[in-house]
Amino acid sequence: MNTDFCDIKQVMKSTYGDFKDVKKSDAPISYASDTGMFNALFGRMAFTQFNQDAVLWNLLAKKGWVKSGWRIRTARGVSLGGFGVTDAGSIPDTVKSTIVEVVASLKQVVTTTEIGNISFNLTGDDVYTFEEEMKNHAQDHVKLLNSQLHRELDTKAGTGFESIDRVCASNGEVTDHSVTAGDGDIYGLDRDSATTYDAYVDYNASADRDVSITMVRSMIETIEANSGQRPTFLLTGYDQRQNILSLMESQVRYTDKITVGINGINTANGYSMGSRIAEFDGLPIFADAQTIKDTGSRIYALNSENVFLGIKMPTKATMSITDQDMLNRGTLTRKAMYLTGGELVCTMFSANGKCRDLL
C-alpha cells in the first residue's frame, strides 16, 4: 500500500475514509442544554454605556504653572474726559492706575483604583483585566476634571478646579439670583459689592426664556466692546446648540480647519482634521454634555487667551503592583493612581461671558 501522500486531503481520506459515509447521530451535542459544552467568553473589554467626552477640558489651552498669583489693572489713572494744557499752564497732577493682586491656589485631583492579587494574576482566564480598568479609569479621571470645570456659580471650588460658570459671573447675577454672600467670589476677589470683576452675563432671574440670535450676538458684541477682545469659541449643551443652528438655518456655516490639542482650540490655516464644526458669526460652537442647565443649557463665550488651564502636575499614572508594594501596604492588592495638579486661570473677566436662564 502506498503511504506517500501529496496533501492533507489524502491523509484525511486514508485515515477516516470518505466523509460521505458519516451518518446522522441520534445523540447530538447541545450547547443550550448539555452541561460543560458551552461557556461564553466575555473578553477583556467592557463597553462604556455613557458619555465619556471631556469636551471643555480638551478645548482649554494647557499652560505651564509659573506662579500662584498675578496683578490686574482695574482702573486707569488718566481721565479720558480731560483736556489739554494752555500755553504756560500748570502741569497736571500725577495719577496712577489701580492695581489688584490675584491669587490662584494650586489644586490637585487624585483618583485611585485597586484589584485583588488573585484577580490580577488570572491573566490566562476570561477576565476583565487590570490593564483595561486602568484605561477606563484614565477616562474617568479626565471626566471628573471636566465636571469640576462645570460647577455652578454658587458652588465654591474648594480643593477642586475653578469653573467657567464662576469665571463668567457678575455682581448683578450674584445679587438678583440671591447667591449666598461670598459664594460668587473667585481668586479672593469680592463680587458681592462691586462690578469691578464682572464678566458679561445675560440673565433673567424671574423666569427662563427662549434663546435668540439677537441674544447671542449681543453677548459677543458686548464682550468685544468691553474688553477689546473677541471670544474664541462658544460652548453649550447639545440641546442649545441645536436650537441655535435651527434659528440660523441657512446662515449656518461649517469649518474643518479647527484643531483641538494640548493647547486647546486652534485655527491653523491649511490644516484639516476631517471634522466639520458649526460656526456662529465666525465662532465655532461646541457641545458638552456636562454644561449647566437651567431649563435649557447655558451658553458660554470664552476667550482662550485669558481663560486657560495652568498645569503644574500633568496627569500622571502611578502604579503600586509589585510584591514588595503589597508587603509594605499589608494587603494583597495591586493599586493605581491618577494625579493632576493645576487650576483654571482667568486673567481678564470682561473678555468672557454667558447667557443663562434659558428654555
Q: How far is CA 181 from CA 103, 163, 193, in A?
A: 20, 18, 10
pLDDT at 74: 85
CB atoms inside a 10 Å sphere around CB 185: 17
Mean residue pLDDT of the chain comes to 83
pLDDT at 23: 56
Helix (H, G, I), strand (E, B) or coil at 200: strand
Which of 6-15, 36-45, 167-176, 336-345 is predicted with the least confidence, judged by mean pLDDT? 36-45
pLDDT at 6 over 70: no
In a domain, 215, yes or no: yes
In a domain, 30, yes or no: no
How confident is residue 38, by pLDDT bands cut at 50, 70 and 90?
A: low
Whose CA is closest to 182, among 200, 196, 160, 166? 166
Name the residue range of residue 350's domain. 55-75+97-355
pLDDT at 37: 53
How confident is residue 273, by pLDDT bands cut at 50, 70 and 90?
A: very low
pLDDT at 73 over 80: yes
In a domain, 288, yes or no: yes
Residue, of 256 and 182, whose pLDDT is higher = 182
Which of 44-53, 144-153, 268-277, 319-328 is predicted with the least confidence, judged by mean pLDDT? 268-277
How confident is residue 274, by pLDDT bands cut at 50, 70 and 90?
A: very low
DSSP per-residue letters across 315-356: EEEEEE-SHHHHHHHTSSEEEEEEEEEEEEEES-GGG-EEE-
pLDDT at 286 over 90: yes
In a domain, 173, yes or no: yes
In a domain, 46, yes or no: no
Count Cβ neighbours within 10 Å for each residue of 73-97 and write b for 16 or more, e otherwise.
Answer: eeeeeeeeeeeeeeeeeeeeeeeee
Residue, of 27 and 122, whose pLDDT is higher = 122
The average pLDDT across 243-253 equals: 75
Angle at the Cα of 234 (from 236 to 297), degrees rounded to 5? 15
Element (H, E) at 164: helix 164-167
pLDDT at 93 over 80: yes
Percent of residues in the chain assigned helix, strand, coil, to nearest 5: 25, 25, 50
Cell of 33: 442544554
Where are the alpha helices (H) located in 17-129, listed in sequence order?
A: 55-59, 117-121
In a domain, 85, yes or no: no
CATH code at position 71: 3.90.1690
Which of 39-48, 280-289, 319-328 is predicted with the least confidence, judged by mean pLDDT? 39-48
How confident is residue 109, by pLDDT bands cut at 50, 70 and 90?
A: very high
The average pLDDT across 279-303 equals: 94
In a domain, 194, yes or no: yes
Structural domain count, the chain:
1
pLDDT at 299: 98
> What is the C-alpha separation between 325 and 90, in angstroms, rounded?
78
CB atoms inside a 10 Å sphere around CB 259: 15
pLDDT at 133: 84
> What is the C-alpha separation between 268 and 276, in angstroms, rounded?
14
How confident is residue 49, by pLDDT bands cut at 50, 70 and 90?
A: low
CB–CB of 104/333 below 8 Å?
Answer: no
In a domain, 275, yes or no: yes
pLDDT at 60 over 90: yes
Q: Which tens digits make up the pLDDT trace of 153-180?
A: 999 999 999 999 999 999 999 999 999 9
Whose CA is closest to 292, among 193, 185, 173? 173
Report how far apart the first and last C-alpha atoms of the chain are (Å, whole number).
90
